[in-house]
Structure 1
Amino acid sequence: MPPYQYKPLNLDTGEIRLVELLPGAFDDEIRISIVTRPFTPLPARPPFDDRLEKVRKTLPQGWGAYKTREGRIIYDDGPTTTYSHPDTHYGGPSYDDDRHALEEVELIFEALSYTWGSEANQVAIEVVPTADEYRQESSKNADTLLVWSNLHDALKHLRGTTDSLILWIDAISINQGDLEERSQQVSRMGDIFRSARNVVVWLGLASDDSSSALRFFGHLGDQIEHTEDDFRLPLPDCANPNWYGITDGAQFASDPEMWEAIHKLLSRPWFDRVWIIQEIVLATSAIVQCGQDTILWRQLRSAIRTLYKVTFPAGSPPSLHELVKRRCFLANITRGKSVLFQLVAVKRAKYTLPHDLVFSILGLLPPVISKKIQPQYSTSPREVFRDAVIAFIDGAGSLDILQFSYLSWIPDFQINMRYFGSGTHRCSGQSTADWSYVDECLLVTTGVAFDTIEAVSCLLLDDDGVILKQIQKIWLSGGSEGQRYPNGDSLSEACARVMGQSKSRDYWPQTSYPTLADIQTPYQRMIQGGLDQDYRQEPALYRPGLDYFKLFKTTLGYFGVCFRTVKPGDTISVLLGCSLPTIIRQQSDVQHRFIGCSYIHGLLAGEALLGDLPDGWKTVGHLDTYGDFHERFIDPANPSVFSEDPRLGPLPSDWIRVVAPDRQWPSKKVNAFQNTVTGQILHSDPRMLSDALRARGVPLKEFRLVDTPR
């Protein structure tokens, strides 16, 4: 049989190709038809709304309401949970809107989420003409199409014996040999998976006791419900209502062989594929299939989130906790998560082409950003990454995407570079980026040159003794506990805050992080005992995510950490619209090279622009109901109340505070500022605009960042 020949899609009608999987016995040859149909996507429901707030106002006393990760409302009064409003006469909004909308869609199909596998393992399947093709060309015979063996396995297991199944499958529905079509169809994949009646996740053939693992996940996932704000509640009418509070994994399963089966199932390639992030997050309904066994994605997702917070019994695979942690990252992604959070996810995933690191999440990005990115596989990966950065800065008004860059303002998303976290600091206050894009290699930003790097450590590795010696050499040489840091803190506190990256209960009061006093104990002992003590006797250092970074000290005496490319003589700058201090290297009289973002204690709350906080004042982190970060200021005279930044002064008379649509997700309502004369809405503080800062004497300057080869 001749190879199948694709015909162009009709872009005017929005055509897509669908695969009709023809019925047959399990061992029969795979036979399909390929049909084209006009496609109008299901309208995207905004990721944020005020329905939960409205529901909470209608609750009887003693009841609470929460939104689950799937968008349902669960009601809780302590002993009881239910998906039904406790007031039987309540007639408010439904949370099954997407399911009801799917029932109105005329084009009914399922979408397959799977891994391609090796090109070396391909199998021929038969493509038979459709009825329409027979009418147009009665002599037309069947063709062949090569598919990867993993897809062939999936089709055998999905095929029914009596009825056809209509599927959208990327390897077949897109002409992979046509770069232009691939680019055009890739931009529609988010709409396709969101509009599918069901998404089928194919994990592969049954093996390594996968049946037992899926049964475990299905049962565990039916006991516990996880809310958007990270509460755990017993699932309504579950068999084990007390499981939501369990932290000992042995109470779920004590058999080491079961934990080994769980480890092997979570190690399957599907979980690491970059495209599955968008495919599963956008799915309105999804099942997970391994061989003939199936469970709901909701069950698997809930079980993974539950296992993240348990201790596994003796005999479990040593790497199981780290594996569950990685899978939990996927389980936590929702539409509306920050762009930076999603970029962290794709940087950990596997891909076929570097372009996919951007194109694979277009359906998850805010439209104000995604519409500025046009998929083109004919362009270079660097052009794709550059365009993504510009789209983010323009859409978000922020330079925070530079956290993924080093040695150039254009990041290479192929490098799995660690970063300091998304939006949990405010080194430039509540400012917006003051920038311009001059040409293909020049990004002009505005900020201050604050300090210069004086000394740099060797590369930090996973060795507490080496790290402590580098701290002594770079930060504490000649210092004493009585000596003060530039902002007045003790040196041991400065060490603890940098190494702990503010992940302490003092900064995040509602967390289980260690206290600052606990974190700084090794540094206090080191200052008191010098270098002669036995570092092996010290408690383990609290240093989340700092392996392969370098310590540095500045001319003014600040301590910081940065990616490994930092050098003495580099400039510490604070750029408007960037949450972290940046390191800049002079290239010429008028041009600079972006080296990387850094974490510097004493410069994370706007000090480089506004000066230090008054004596006794401190900042704490706060996450609002949307999960967005806000820095709160605490006045020592009234510590129980959050105050405004005392350095800013009163709001100008022509500006007022308002609640307005968010810049990236308009359905989300956020605090903003409005000009009473012009009506202009600002999501940044007008007191942090360039002109306002210059008026108060801040020495702002331009940094002309050039793209230079690494």
Structure 2
Amino acid sequence: MARDDGPPKPPASSPANIYAYQTLDPSRQEIRLLTFRPRHSDHMETECNLQHVSLDDYPVYDCLSYTWGETKTDQQLPLDGTIVGVTENLKAALVQLQRRHNRNSDNNPAIWTDAVCIDQNNEAERNEQVQLMCQIYSRARQVLVWLGPESETTALAVKTMHEFSEELERRNLLPIQWPYPDSKSEHTQDLLEAKKGLASLGQPAMQALKDFFSRLWWRRVWVIQEVAVSQSAIMLSGEQVIPFTHVRNFVNFAEWACSAHKIDNDPQFLDVYRHIKVRAVAICRHTLHTDRAKPGLLQSIHNIYVKKEAQATDPKDRIFAILGLLDNDHVGIMVDYSKPCSAVYRDATRTLVQKSDLLILSYAAGIRENAAISVPSWVLDLTDAMVYPLGLDRRYRCLFSASGSVKQPTYQDMEDPDVLRVQVVWVGKISYVGRPAQKLSKWQIIDFENWIEDLKILTAKSDLTRPADEINDIVWRTAVADNLNDSTGLRRRTDPSDLDSYKALHQSIEDFRNGNEDTVFPKSLYVTEIQAVAPTRRGFRTANGLVGMGKETCRAGDDVFIILGHTTPFIFREQEPGVYSLLGEAYVHGAMDGSLMQEVPIVQTVLLR
């Protein structure tokens, strides 16, 4: 349900015969379905009827997935002798669907669409119907995705994706699944042969694909559930139609080509790939239509929101819209639009902590200025940009174990819902911090110099006596938080082979210092990882000599703790004795594998606000 622009408001000049909704029976899981009245010409007005049905009776119907576009509901839809106000985009979709129905009158089930089939002025009904959303879409015969009117490039985009999908099928290369096969496998060699077709795409096809994936529909969070749980889905743009499976095949192929086998010599296609918004949809759809378990709440949040565009005008929908994708770990999270957004996010975070999924704290809001909403520092905020947790790979596996074998204690609730009680082991107090890293993704050699030099200075400031090779080891490993992406997209810990990449970067920095202003940094997985992990972070040193990196908001005087049961240390800022704000997770060299927990640690109980 693409409720991305909020509930529609009645037109300012609503006539007296506005449609009056009859109450649905929640005990029967009732929904409303829209049917078209027959018309003899495409030029006749679209007229509709609404009927109540029970999901328990397994009615036959299609679901419409679309975006509201402009929020003005100034288009009139004739409905059972009255009218209802709808948006321009919905009216265009219904007109197009009725044309399809007229051409194929023998196979036209009813339609479910949120703005008409839910009484948007009845908050209790909205809550009940949104709770049913997964069932509504999963029981539909098919989901009809309306992208909007056809543009001059739509036909070429559809033709290109059709041809790619059919070629992949002809070569028996489907499905393309991550993790990808070994680069030397026969399957990969066949994919590489098929990849040559990407290079042959001309500029018109590239632009057509770019236009197709720039449609507003791709950026709305509700559509992920709508397509992911569907039995079948087709995409419509005016008269153009394409099965969602063909689009998904093209997207997965493009992702493989750009991730596992870089298309460095084709910036045009990389530009197209940057416009593809469907990757999360494809992942969710594949997951739900195999024997794999459904993803958990936190995994879904990560897949959909971290470094991806998934928009919702009502920020509460960033939680409500994905509940249908989940396994049973979201039990207790009820759709309630009367709740403040901060309470929705707080309750979702607390639910995960209660279920021992402390990784949620790696995504916590922390201390911020000018935030869109105010939440406790330990709470997830989906209105803000989310960063990738340290050491987490695409299999949702963390490479670190700072608390070792020590498990999270039994959760203890607090009277104040904004307070979280955690048990921690103190690591140290920050005494020095480096400069915040450059935020731009395209670093210059000077940015690498600053990052490496700060870590060297912080390590040298330590009162501990360390040999030069140990100092060097701390610096080059801390620069990438001791982990990086390998060539297959999986994360791994650094190893001595990465030291060569660091030395090559160090040599480039030395050349730059010696006056060679044309020096460029070498390309390597190590260098790429610095560009990924350093922005929004800075180096630090604790008073007891430990070196690491944390969020750029950390400062001297902040404390580093390990939360029992979590994989990484965290930086806290004391507000009053025993009460802290959480700033964010940290990498601390020498403390990421449970070494500080091997002796009997001193465990404290602190409160987070």
- Both structures adopt the same fold (TM-score exceeding 0.5): yes
> Structure 1's 607 and 485: CA in aligned 2 closer, same or farther, altered over 3 A?
farther
Distance (whole Å) between structure 1 residues aligned to residue 452 and residue 534 of structure 2: 17
Is the CA contact 2:562–2:570 (under 8 Å) kept in the aligned structure 1? yes
Residue deviations 1:262-294 (CA, integer Å, cap 9, x gap):
011011111100101111111121112222222
Instruction: Show the counterpart of 2:8.
Output: none
> Structure 1's 257 and 386: CA in aligned 2 closer, same or farther, altered over 3 A?
same
1:493-504 aligned at under 5 Å gives the runs 493-501=473-481, 502-503=483-484
Deviation at 1:526, TM superposition (A): 7.6
> Structure 1's 366 and 114: CA in aligned 2 closer, same or farther, altered over 3 A?
same
Instruction: Show the counterpart of 1:628.
Output: none
Distance (whole Å) between structure 2 residues aligned to residue 584 and residue 318 of structure 1: 40
Deviation at 1:150, TM superposition (A): 1.2
> Structure 1's 457 and 512: CA in aligned 2 closer, same or farther, altered over 3 A?
closer
Instruction: Show the counterpart of 1:433.
Output: 408
* Partner residue of 1:245 out of 183, 192, 200: 192
Deviation at 1:493, TM superposition (A): 4.0
Gaps of 5+ in 2: 1-14, 258-262, 289-293, 368-376
Report the 3-state secondary structure (helix = DSSP H, G, I; strand = E; otherwise coil) of the residue aligned with 2:404: coil
Distance (whole Å) between structure 2 residues aligned to residue 448 and residue 487 of structure 1: 28
Residue deviations 1:551-606 (CA, integer Å, cap 9, x gap):
32333444433333211111111112222211111111121111111233432222
Q: Tell me whether 1:374 sits opposite 2:308 in the alignment.
A: no
Instruction: Show the counterpart of 1:349.
Output: 310
Distance (whole Å) between structure 2 residues aligned to residue 312 and residue 208 of structure 1: 29
Deviation at 1:468, TM superposition (A): 2.9
Instruction: Show the counterpart of 1:596.
Output: 584
Range with greater deviation from structure 2 (210-219 or 495-504) = 495-504
Residue deviations 1:41-80 (CA, integer Å, cap 9, x gap):
xxxxxxxxxxxxxxxxxxxxxxxxxxxxxxxxxxxxxxxx
* Partner residue of 2:447 out of 467, 487, 492: 467
Q: Tell me whether 1:274 sits opposite 2:221 in the alignment.
A: yes
> Structure 1's 516 and 557: CA in aligned 2 closer, same or farther, altered over 3 A?
farther
* Partner residue of 1:454 out of 431, 434, 442: 431
Report the 3-state secondary structure (helix = DSSP H, G, I; strand = E; otherwise coil) of the residue aligned with 1:308: helix
* Partner residue of 1:517 out of 491, 494, 499: 499
Distance (whole Å) between structure 2 residues aligned to residue 478 and residue 376 of structure 1: 49
Letter in 2 for 1:409: W
Instruction: Show the counterpart of 1:218.
Output: 162
Letter in 2 for 1:186: V
Distance (whole Å) between structure 2 residues aligned to residue 457 and residue 22 of structure 1: 69
Instruction: Show the counterpart of 2:69.
Output: 117
Distance (whole Å) between structure 2 residues aligned to residue 308 and residue 507 of structure 1: 12
Instruction: Show the counterpart of 2:543.
Output: 555
Letter in 2 for 1:516: D
> Structure 1's 564 and 601: CA in aligned 2 closer, same or farther, altered over 3 A?
same
Is the CA contact 2:505–2:521 (under 8 Å) kept in the aligned structure 1? no
Instruction: Show the counterpart of 2:127.
Output: 183
> Structure 1's 443 and 473: CA in aligned 2 closer, same or farther, altered over 3 A?
same
> Structure 1's 479 and 126: CA in aligned 2 closer, same or farther, altered over 3 A?
closer
Distance (whole Å) between structure 2 residues aligned to residue 512 and residue 306 of structure 1: 28
> Structure 1's 315 and 446: CA in aligned 2 closer, same or farther, altered over 3 A?
closer
Distance (whole Å) between structure 1 residues aligned to residue 210 and residue 405 of structure 2: 44
Report the 3-state secondary structure (helix = DSSP H, G, I; strand = E; otherwise coil) of the residue aligned with 1:392: helix
Distance (whole Å) between structure 2 residues aligned to residue 21 and residue 494 of structure 1: 69
> Structure 1's 520 and 386: CA in aligned 2 closer, same or farther, altered over 3 A?
same
Deviation at 1:18, TM superposition (A): 1.3
Residue deviations 1:493-548 (CA, integer Å, cap 9, x gap):
43443343411559999989995234422564389789666574432532224323
Deviation at 1:261, TM superposition (A): 0.5
Is the CA contact 2:456–2:475 (under 8 Å) kept in the aligned structure 1? no
Cα-Cα RMSD: 3.3
Instruction: Show the counterpart of 1:290.
Output: 237
1:21-40 aligned at under 5 Å gives the runs 21-24=36-39, 25-40=41-56
Deviation at 1:243, TM superposition (A): 5.2
Letter in 1 for 2:357: S
> Structure 1's 563 and 6: CA in aligned 2 closer, same or farther, altered over 3 A?
farther
Deviation at 1:373, TM superposition (A): 0.4
Instruction: Show the counterpart of 1:415.
Output: 384
Instruction: Show the counterpart of 1:199.
Output: 143
* Partner residue of 1:230 out of 172, 179, 182: 179
Deviation at 1:253, TM superposition (A): 3.5
Report the 3-state secondary structure (helix = DSSP H, G, I; strand = E; otherwise coil) of the residue aligned with 2:92: helix
> Structure 1's 547 and 241: CA in aligned 2 closer, same or farther, altered over 3 A?
closer
Q: Tell me whether 1:169 sits opposite 2:113 in the alignment.
A: yes
Range with greater deviation from structure 2 (471-480 or 178-187) = 471-480
Residue deviations 1:248-268 (CA, integer Å, cap 9, x gap):
455464311101100110111
The count of corresponding residues between Structure 1 and Structure 2 is 533
For normalisation by structure 2, the TM-score amounts to: 0.79
Is the CA contact 1:484–1:490 (under 8 Å) kept in the aligned structure 2? no
Q: Tell me whether 1:567 sits opposite 2:549 in the alignment.
A: no
Is the CA contact 1:176–1:182 (under 8 Å) kept in the aligned structure 2? yes
Deviation at 1:487, TM superposition (A): 12
Report the 3-state secondary structure (helix = DSSP H, G, I; strand = E; otherwise coil) of the residue aligned with 1:319: helix
Instruction: Show the counterpart of 1:158.
Output: 97
Residue deviations 1:187-221 (CA, integer Å, cap 9, x gap):
11112111111111111111141111112112212
Deviation at 1:242, TM superposition (A): 7.3
Letter in 1 for 2:429: T
Structure 1 or 2: more strand by fraction: 1
Instruction: Show the counterpart of 1:683.
Output: none
Is the CA contact 2:432–2:458 (under 8 Å) kept in the aligned structure 1? no
Letter in 1 for 2:417: E
> Structure 1's 318 and 198: CA in aligned 2 closer, same or farther, altered over 3 A?
closer
Is the CA contact 2:198–2:269 (under 8 Å) kept in the aligned structure 1? no
* Partner residue of 1:383 out of 343, 347, 353: 343
* Partner residue of 1:401 out of 349, 360, 364: 360
Deviation at 1:430, TM superposition (A): 4.8
Letter in 1 for 2:324: G
Distance (whole Å) between structure 2 residues aligned to residue 443 and residue 700 of structure 1: 16
Range with greater deviation from structure 2 (521-530 or 562-571) = 521-530
Deviation at 1:426, TM superposition (A): 2.3
Is the CA contact 1:21–1:165 (under 8 Å) kept in the aligned structure 2? no
Is the CA contact 1:31–1:125 (under 8 Å) kept in the aligned structure 2? yes
Is the CA contact 1:492–1:520 (under 8 Å) kept in the aligned structure 2? no
> Structure 1's 449 and 561: CA in aligned 2 closer, same or farther, altered over 3 A?
same
Is the CA contact 1:205–1:291 (under 8 Å) kept in the aligned structure 2? yes
> Structure 1's 110 and 312: CA in aligned 2 closer, same or farther, altered over 3 A?
farther
Structure 1 or 2: more helix by fraction: 2
Residue deviations 1:588-638 (CA, integer Å, cap 9, x gap):
11211111112334322222323xxxxxxxxxxxxxxxxxxxxxxxxxxxx
Is the CA contact 2:562–2:568 (under 8 Å) kept in the aligned structure 1? yes
* Partner residue of 2:605 out of 702, 706, 710: 702
* Identity level (%): 22
Q: Tell me whether 1:539 sits opposite 2:498 in the alignment.
A: no
Distance (whole Å) between structure 1 residues aligned to residue 605 and residue 227 of structure 2: 43
Distance (whole Å) between structure 1 residues aligned to residue 142 and residue 487 of structure 2: 46
* Partner residue of 2:324 out of 363, 366, 381: 363
Distance (whole Å) between structure 1 residues aligned to residue 412 and residue 386 of structure 2: 26
> Structure 1's 207 and 578: CA in aligned 2 closer, same or farther, altered over 3 A?
same
Instruction: Show the counterpart of 2:6.
Output: none
Instruction: Show the counterpart of 1:48.
Output: none
Instruction: Show the counterpart of 1:63.
Output: none
Residue deviations 1:328-351 (CA, integer Å, cap 9, x gap):
243223342353342131463110
Report the 3-state secondary structure (helix = DSSP H, G, I; strand = E; otherwise coil) of the residue aligned with 2:282: helix
Q: Tell me whether 1:299 sits opposite 2:246 in the alignment.
A: yes
Distance (whole Å) between structure 2 residues aligned to residue 286 and residue 430 of structure 1: 45
> Structure 1's 321 and 486: CA in aligned 2 closer, same or farther, altered over 3 A?
farther
Distance (whole Å) between structure 1 residues aligned to residue 233 and residue 227 of structure 2: 7
